Amino acid sequence: MDRPSLAVMRPSLGGQVIVAIVGAGDIGRGWASLCIAQGWPVRLFDHETKSLVEAHANVITRARRLVALGYADAEAVERGVANFNVSRSLLQACAEAHWIIEAIHEDVIAKQKMFEAFESVGHRARIVSSSTTAIPIKDIVARCRRQDRCMIAHPLNPPELIPLVEVVPGPHTDGALVELLKGWLRALGRIPITVKRAKQGNVAGRIAAAVWREAIDLVLTGVVDVADLDRAVAVGPALGWAAAGPHLTYHLAAGGRGVEGFIQHLLSTFESTWADLATWQRLDPEQQHRLVQALSRAYQGDIDTMRDARDAKLVAILKALEEVRRERESLGVATEDEA
């Protein structure tokens, strides 16, 4: 299992990686702030001029905020800021890039046209990745000749804080380039996982969708209020999963019985719960309205204040996990199951 440090690390890649990011939405800005925080040169482009202008200041603010959170080195950030350019054209953004990151809206035709354009403007790029979670890479690259360098690299939001990145190769992706991308991601302090078979929502997205559906159902059926539901997840299973993940959590709970005995002992309990879980696939307008109202009642504060609190907690958790990993590694007892 990949076990990179969560701390900011300098890549031993024989030079800096020049990154072109196409799409100045929230994910694109997150990618940009992450790369800038590492000191890498970043070129940002978007066909919407207004979005691009707004993104410039926001990206720099987000990168510098990582320093305030103790999650980035100030010198590296300022080096990245000095090498951060908003490009006037796709060609200007991609011409010198080693890595092109596509982060536009989730539209398969738009992505196909963009990847086709990369064929003529991104000759130097070793890797071209999409940030999608909804569209298979084989569909995105359908018009491309150089499919060997194309793959999905899907981050979680906010990309500059959450270390997981799901890497999904296509049918014709070069395995050596998959490993190269994973090396770049580790150099950015990310933890890449390889999704071996394309699946709607990848891995984390599917788990999040399943948990959120049940969370919504518990609220709409009057079992629990929004705030208590969030507390139940945040300081309950999510806390355990942050340390071990779901499979290891139950494996450890098995104790002396072993995992086989544990599963046999509790399987009927889980099966009873699984039979009672929500199975609906969409919310009707009335249910959507009720959910919005419930969320609005629960969280009426300033959104920026709540985001700041969330980010501070995320960094504290990541630092604690990193400290434990380093301590165990120094004692020679780090195990392959540790992140």
pLDDT score, position 14: 47
3-state secondary structure of 295: helix
Number of domains the chain is built from: 2
The reply to whether 114 and 66 lie within a common domain is yes
Taking the mean position of all CA atoms in its chain, how far away is CA 159?
Answer: 5
Q: What is the maximum span of the chain, computed from C-alpha positions, in angstroms?
A: 63
Burial 238-256 (b: 16+ CB within 10 A, else e): eebeeebeeeeebbeeeee
Within a 10 A sphere around the Cβ of 333, how many other Cβ atoms?
9
| CATH, residue 277 | 1.10.1040.10
Kindly state whether residue 327 falls inside one of the protein's structural domains: no
Same domain, 59 and 160: yes
| Mean pLDDT, contiguous 10-residue spans, the chain (339 residues) | 38 70 96 97 94 93 95 96 96 97 96 97 97 95 96 96 97 97 96 94 95 98 97 95 90 77 79 94 96 95 91 93 87 60
Domain contains 335: no
Question: What CATH number does the domain containing 175 carry?
Answer: 3.40.50.720
pLDDT (0 to 100) of residue 3 = 36
Whether 34 and 178 map to the same domain: the answer is yes
3-state secondary structure (DSSP) of residue 22: strand
Q: Are residues 34 and 99 in the same domain?
A: yes
* pLDDT reported for residue 9: 35
Is pTM beyond 0.75 here?
yes
* Cα 291 to Cα 26: distance, rounded to the nearest angstrom: 24
Q: Are residues 176 and 277 in the same domain?
A: no
Q: In this predicted structure, what is the pLDDT of residue 154? A: 97
Residue 138 belongs to a domain: yes
CA separation for the pair 51, 206 (Å, rounded): 29
List the domain range (segments joined by +) for residue 42. Answer: 19-194
